[in-house]
Structure 1
């Protein structure tokens, strides 16, 4: 009876290990992207970087339940010395404006909103 489990165990363990490796690689890539954005501060030619964040259905879906009572279909444009600063401020003013009782949820809301803002900003720059 024990012999039946060995092939099953041999198939499950590599799947779990590869799934973990994929998640770690994805997280490291996200951290690297955020580090590279932090380094892009104003140059002599650029005084401000402006970002527009809206509480669209797509943004609220990305942030999930971490945004508390957002006002749908509102937008704000914020300028800062870097994309990261502008996105953080815009997210704090629109999507993550109402504070949760659980402090960690506020941080998660800001991180997810920031990440989506930066991703959308970089995809529009590439176009």
Structure 2
């Protein structure tokens, strides 16, 4: 069941108020990176991400090399010489409206969860 636009507006407004006022969202993001280690022993690649907004990120991600499960380092930088290839960000109101029919994604986002996007530098993926 889709959530009404009016309810999305209320939820989004409440989220933005929490983001602006709660201490959990008032963190320094300057060097906030996380590493996800591939569980595939043949691969073992580390996918590095950075947070551009404060919020919740998942414990599991996917390996950008072999698509296996990758596990969070809980913000320990396991690859200091590697540049992040993905960034976590808070989507805008339009995105919230688009996902209002998917209860799982909507609940994640409205609870302060972030989405990811690939970092592109000079027209190329930052892998």
Larger radius of gyration: 1
Structure with larger RCO (C-alpha < 8 A, sep 6+): 2
Length-normalised TM-score, structure 1? 0.29
Larger strand share, 1 or 2: 2
Larger helix share, 1 or 2: 1
Length-normalised TM-score, structure 2? 0.29
